Chains A and B, each alone.
Chain A
């Protein structure tokens, strides 16, 4: 390209527009990052109305999976704000023993605010309440509430389960098919009607000699037909089906309606991932990891609560033990640190309703 023009004087670089432009560019390139970081790490913490802790949930199998951080330390009586978010999929959040059971999702990229004040020192376990993968149950963490004057209390679990199931010598890992089992789900209402007709005194009193928690439905059924006892005399003439109605009736008396509701709430929140919402053992986590050796316990499918023989053979204490300790070696987690004593029995009562109809 020919260029025969004489160079003309160009305006000076130090002209005003250039200087303004430079400032603007610096504002964009340096100012924006500084403003962002300053707001997030300088301004926001300072403006926070109370102590604020950010909690990020990730799939347990992911890098940094689970809750980050998974231990939170606060002071007794301190008002604390949790900002929860998820980095991948929908999770949930609950601290049952603090009464934090919002049922709100911790959604990816959104922030859920939870405010609490813990009055009692000790350890409160929290968990993810939306099933998110096979290892979902590992999404747990602890809130340590410190009482500077009571170091011992600080280290204790808050309201731990009180029943000493191990003392009973029950083997919760053994198979426990009932010797007797109904062929159809029995109906507690029919049992109540029957007893109203036949009964001499409140039904449970006939079992007063036994610890009801150790009694299995199969065992109770056997009692109904035992000759030579008062109970046997009253019920001996009944058919098997009717006797099972009576057994269902007996179990329905164990839990008050609101306890059953609580059990339903907890079961539907925490157990459906594997046991399914109808108790059939058909949740998405029911068949854990097919890549695992199928003989290993980890590959054991989730219990089907509509299996009448298994239900008939299981005492409430057996379920209690399983819940508190977990299914050792299987994917059944432990709930002893999360559920209160009442919660545990409530869940058990609800689980029974998959086999024994009640209203």
Chain B
């Protein structure tokens, strides 16, 4: 490794970390009250994906359509359970950005562990940060490798290929 490539490697790592972690001022659309009705059936939620904005006060109303289901929302302290015909609801403030999965929290059949929906709290900065970090990592690795010294060890010659 040349000095230059080492520098590049360190630099791109730092940049990628910065893209992932540097705090940014939050751009918050005016918070809203939202009521979201989720219909649960074996083994999906409808709608499967819900978008809200950071700061919104969200009320999830769970309607079980076939058998008893529940909702456990990752990262938020939400866990409600609803028997068919008896909707259940929970209210919380969507204060963190990103995608949070909600999972059925009542065993409801074989695929129950994979009964998953998602709540996207926008703007979904974590995702865009990851994408920027991805681009930095790609560019960084290629630039680093470009400026690295040629491999000192012998490489296997093309003639080896023929033996396959």
Residues of chain A having any CB pair with chain B under 8 Å: 59, 88-90, 105, 107-109, 130-133, 268, 272-274, 276-277, 283-285
Contact = CB atoms under 8 A, between A and B. Distances in A.
A133 B67 contact: yes
B66 interface: yes
Nearest to A92: B83
Nearest to B67: A89
A1 B87 CA distance: 73
24 contacts: A89-B67, A89-B68, A89-B107, A89-B109, A90-B107, A108-B107, A108-B109, A109-B107, A130-B68, A130-B83, A131-B84, A132-B67, A132-B84, A268-B86, A272-B83, A272-B85, A273-B85, A276-B85, A283-B84, A284-B64, A284-B65, A284-B66, A285-B84, A285-B85
B148 interface: no
B44 interface: no
Contacts of A285: 84-85
A154 B132 CA distance: 77
A331 to B, nearest CB: 14
Contacts of A277: 85-87
A163 to B, nearest CB: 28
A284 to B, nearest CB: 4
Interface of B: 64-68, 83-87, 106-109
Chain B contact residues: over half helix, strand or loop, or mixed? loop
Nearest to B108: A89
Contact of A90 (B65, B85, B87, B108): B108
A130, A277, A283: residue with the most chain B Cβ atoms closer than 10 Å = A130
Contacts of B64: 284
Contacts of B108: 89-90, 108
Given A273-B84, A285-B84, 7 more contacts: A131-B84, A131-B85, A272-B85, A277-B87, A284-B64, A284-B84, A285-B85
A284 B85 contact: yes
Contacts of B68: 89-90, 105, 130, 132
A133 B86 CA distance: 14
Given A107-B107, A108-B107, A90 B67 contact: yes
A268 B85 CA distance: 9
B149 to A, nearest CB: 42
Nearest to B63: A284
Contacts of B87: 277
A88 B66 CA distance: 13
A254 B67 CA distance: 36
A133 B66 contact: yes
Contacts of A59: 67
B119 to A, nearest CB: 24
B72 to A, nearest CB: 15
Contacts of A90: 67-68, 83, 106-108
Nearest to B70: A90
Nearest to B64: A284
Contacts of A88: 109
A90 B66 CA distance: 11
Which residue among A59, A105, A131, A272 has the maximum number of chain B CB atoms within 10 Å of its CB?
A: A131
A109 B107 CA distance: 9
Contacts of B84: 130-132, 272-273, 283-285
Nearest to B41: A284
B83 to A, nearest CB: 5
B38 to A, nearest CB: 14
A330 to B, nearest CB: 17
